[in-house]
Amino acid sequence: MFYTRLEVQCDSEFTEILIAETAEAGFDTFQETESGFEAFAEQDHYDRETLESIRQRYHHLEKLSFALTRIEKENWNEQWEKSFEPVVVDDRCIVRADFHQTEKNYPYEIIITPKMSFGTGHHATTWLMLKCQMEIDHEHMRVMDAGCGTCVLSIMAQKRGAAFVDAFDIDEWSTVNGKENLENNGCDRVQLRQGTVRTLLFGELFDIILANINKNILIDEMSEYAKHLRHGGTLVLSGFYESDVPDLRACAAHEGFTLQKQEVKDSWCALVLTKK
């Protein structure tokens, strides 16, 4: 069997949205690269017209390029396993695939099936979110994982003692892959749904909200996070550059949040905020 590989070169801030868009065109496996990402689909099982419309919609981006090639499934799987390396966060957490063997024990071990690499810890924002989580008390807490992707943050939340995690993502491929990852990590306190913070219904307020998305969505949804977080609760944000911090802090302050901590890795940033 052959696969179609789509190689996309783009600025990192557009990677997540373009992965979501190409998933709509029929690609179901993704891997981030230094210059963008690769997407895969079985043979010709993708929508060429949808893919072309994505190209046209983002044609104004200076660094955007699309390239299609055909590869054999066996070679692709072998190459994938060679390129997917475990990620260690702050020497306390390892994120690995199920085929990896580890020589050292870590307090937290998360197994992620590498069907898409956004949310595996390879991206600086996921690394930052995990680092922040390890410094926040989750014991008996209600946690929201907004835009959960592979559910790596939800898995960490349960491992940190969360009583309940409400994880959701707008994309179907995230809920499918996320379900598999939750099962592989024995997570039984995570509810996984498809939707957004505006389209889903929630019961009680949350103690912690995790949102690793992008600057524009975070600003747009900041009021929703404030509405669903209890007073004194913690909001952890990432998915943006250090240069975006002033805009996010201003928006957060308007909704009643105060900054507790800021973390930076490779020019990407994470903020830990508290609701007044």
On whether the CB atoms of residues 104 and 146 are closer than 8 A, the answer is no
CATH 3.40.50.150 applies to domain 119-275: yes
Let me know if the fold of 2-82 is the same as that of 119-275.
no
pLDDT tens column, 39-60: 888 888 899 999 999 999 998 8
What's the length of the chain?
276
pLDDT tens column, 101-140: 888 899 999 998 756 445 666 778 999 999 999 999 999 9
Residue 15: strand pairing partners: none
Share of the chain above pLDDT 70, in %: 92
CATH 3.30.70 applies to domain 2-82: yes
Q: Where are the domains of the chain?
A: 2-82, 119-275
On whether the CB atoms of residues 108 and 134 are closer than 8 A, the answer is yes
The pTM score is 0.76
